[in-house]
Amino acid sequence: MIRHTVAFRLKHPAGSELERLFLADGRRILGAIAGVRNFEALQQVSAKNDFGYGFSMEFDGQAEYQAYNDHPEHVAFVRDRWIPEVEDFLEIDYVPLPD
């Protein structure tokens, strides 16, 4: 299993319609891609960093994760929405540690 997470800060004003649309579209578009499990759009609440939001999702393995990265809907979202609308981000991909 791979857990793909990204924490990000948007260029849009907090509470704006553009912010709401970005988060809703991310959930709708990215969460619907084959192989994505447990998609969550998250709001960050810690004062320890200035990223406001996060997306988290899981994949059964490397093949599903790579298919997601190469999927035309993901590529289009990154090109048309992520790059123009995200100010900064941190991406982390996790795999469970063995017992």
Each residue's pLDDT tens digit, 82-99: 999 999 999 999 999 998
pLDDT at residue 33, rounded to an integer:
98
pLDDT at residue 74, rounded to an integer:
98
pTM for this one?
0.92
Single-letter residue type at 90: L
Q: Averaged over 62-75, what is the pLDDT?
A: 98
pLDDT band at 17 (very low <50, low <70, confident <90, very high): very high
Decide yes or no: CATH 3.30.460.80 for domain 2-87: no
| Sequence ranges of the domains in the chain | 2-87
Each residue's pLDDT tens digit, 26-53: 999 999 999 999 999 999 999 899 999 9
Residue burial 28-54, b: 16+ Cβ < 10 Å; e: rest: eebeebebbeebebeeeeeeeeebbbb
Distance separating alpha carbons of residues 8 and 10, to the nearest angstrom? 7
pLDDT at residue 48, rounded to an integer:
92
pLDDT at residue 67, rounded to an integer:
98
pLDDT band at 61 (very low <50, low <70, confident <90, very high): very high
In order, the DSSP letters of 7-36 are EEEESSPTT-HHHHHHHHHHHHHHHTSTT-
